[in-house]
Structure 1
């Protein structure tokens, strides 16, 4: 029997506070289930996201699960929707920020690559691995990629880039970074920032204005230091 099939009545609809065995009365919220499912997706892949396994890790009966989700597929659908909104929202928001130059517009997008509050690369990698085995997930990933590229393309247009070049620059900027994640390239933030002027010349076709690189580097290092201190 599939794991996400209906449980027997007594277990399926009991209170989420009603644990079993040694767990006692332990309540797990929907956020608890989602957080653990996300962590499991990132660390173990989609095959590791199982109701029974998650319940054991939470130390509760899996009956709690059915108060918040219809099935395992419902949970997976919500994880996918969370990924799409979370990792796409940051890129769209950064692309829309005011920019007085095309290099500033590119730098706004670059902030997504060091700030995990804007873009979570491990989650993105996990969902792309998931898509390799699911045509439905692949459709969602392709749609999200299209939305992200479109937002960066619009940024280049607003910054005065010719229409014939704007889409290609947007695709190169976005897919180059996704390629870094897919290849699992390990590079220190200091080394990456040292090459920032060259990255800007390649992606924007222009040298940065005075002070743009310095301001970006300061923000990036400050953000990295803050995360390391947590």
Structure 2
């Protein structure tokens, strides 16, 4: 008796047999964890399958190849880390110091921005020119958003550009150094940071509101 032919998807892939235990997001989340912990070179189909406790064949239900997964990781990083910065910089703000508080939310709450993921991607880019291009594009977009925030509050183009670069590169460097300080200590410098980054003094209400937000995050 001839062996039955497998049922194919629209893309010509065989439908998986049995119970599919993991989702596409499970594969992506595991790949993200491995990327952060071990680097891009260890994001391998077999390795991920072992972490998930499934056969590697189920990978192909969601991705055509490892290259497709790596591309999905880059898209996921942009959605998790670049899009939130762009969003926070365009939130309504009555003052530039309030705008900076919106921006700073990204860097005190890792549910908005994931610093370990950002630096895993940057480390990957040192060995992959295409990933370097994605990093450069992301930094350009982020800087444009921060610059736009300053421009919206009346700074001229040159001053907005300079202040945006000082602010953004300092903040990225702050996380790159993995400084370990209590949130209370960091918030003690908030008023000074805001004033020196903008040239304008923040209100007591802005300081109180952002400090309350940051301390609440730290207590999770």
TM-score by length of 1: 0.86
Which residue is equivalent to 1:205? Answer: 199
Question: Do residues 90 (structure 1) and 93 (structure 2) align?
Answer: no
- Structure 1 pair 206/28, CA: closer, same or farther in 2 (3 Å)? same
Query: Structure 2 regions of 5+ residues with no counterpart?
Result: 1-5, 7-12
Which residue is equivalent to 1:74? Answer: 68
Alignment of 1:149-160 (within 5 A): 149-160=143-154
- Tell me if structure 1 keeps the 8 A contact 2:20–2:58: no
Query: Which of these residues, 30, 53, 62, is aligned with residue 47 of structure 2?
Result: 53
TM-aligned CA deviation for residue 14 of structure 1: 5.5
Query: Which of these residues, 190, 194, 209, is aligned with residue 215 of structure 1?
Result: 209
TM-aligned CA deviation for residue 199 of structure 1: 0.7
TM-aligned CA deviation for residue 16 of structure 1: 3.9
> Secondary structure of 2:173's match?
helix
Question: Do residues 125 (structure 1) and 119 (structure 2) align?
Answer: yes
- Tell me if structure 1 keeps the 8 A contact 2:146–2:164: yes
User: 2-side partners of 1:88 and 1:67: how far apart?
Assistant: 28
TM-aligned CA deviation for residue 223 of structure 1: 2.5
- Structure 1 pair 56/15, CA: closer, same or farther in 2 (3 Å)? farther
- Tell me if structure 2 keeps the 8 A contact 1:89–1:118: no
- Tell me if structure 2 keeps the 8 A contact 1:87–1:124: yes
Count the aligned residue pairs. 210
User: 1-side partners of 2:36 and 2:174: how far apart?
Assistant: 17
Query: Which of these residues, 160, 174, 181, is aligned with residue 166 of structure 1?
Result: 160
Question: Do residues 107 (structure 1) and 101 (structure 2) align?
Answer: yes
TM-aligned CA deviation for residue 185 of structure 1: 1.9
Aligned CA-pair RMSD: 1.7
Alignment of 1:130-141 (within 5 A): 130-141=124-135
TM-aligned CA deviation for residue 115 of structure 1: 1.3
Query: Structure 1 regions of 5+ residues with no counterpart?
Result: 1-8, 19-24
User: 2-side partners of 1:15 and 1:40: how far apart?
Assistant: 27
Which residue is equivalent to 2:138? Answer: 144
Structure 1: which 4+ aligned runs deviate by more than 2 Å? 13-18
